[in-house]
Amino acid sequence: MEITHQADYALRTVKYLAQFAPGQRVPTSKIAADNQIPATFLTKIVYQLSLAGVINTSRGAGGGVWLGRSPQEITLLEVLEAVDGPVTLNKCVGHPQACPFSTTCMLHIFWEEACQGLVARLRTTTFASLLVQADFPAA
């Protein structure tokens, strides 16, 4: 299993912005270049993250992108769900009615428990905690 490119780019974008001082605006061109994200793809991701309140954006001279809240308040789950929707490991977890065996299938129970564990970990992991673990220098 693998997360989407969109999710990977969104996580990299927020991690990158978390390194800057609160409110410091960063041009999307810099984000794209420093993180090897296609600029056109980044535009879509920035839009989705701004709709979710994860980041703020401003156009024009002096414009750019910055975190909407502190890195301590933004979780990996929030970013993933902002760009890809709910986290599920199998279709039957998000839509049990899609499988006629979901109420009796041991695989369904396994996927449901595994998904709950993953979601719990993503919900409790903030970008601030990632920065501390990696000991990133301030930008």
Domains, the chain, in order of start with CATH, read: 5-85+126-134 (1.10.10.10)
Q: What 3-state class would DSSP assign to 57?
A: strand
Residue 60, CB half-sphere, CA atoms under 13 Å: how many? 1
- Tens-digit pLDDT profile for residues 75-117: 999 999 999 999 988 888 877 788 888 778 888 888 889 999 9
The whole-angstrom separation of Cα 72 and Cα 23 is 14
> What pLDDT, in 10s, does the model give residues 21-38?
999 999 999 999 999 999
Total number of residues shown for the chain: 139
pTM beyond 0.85 = yes
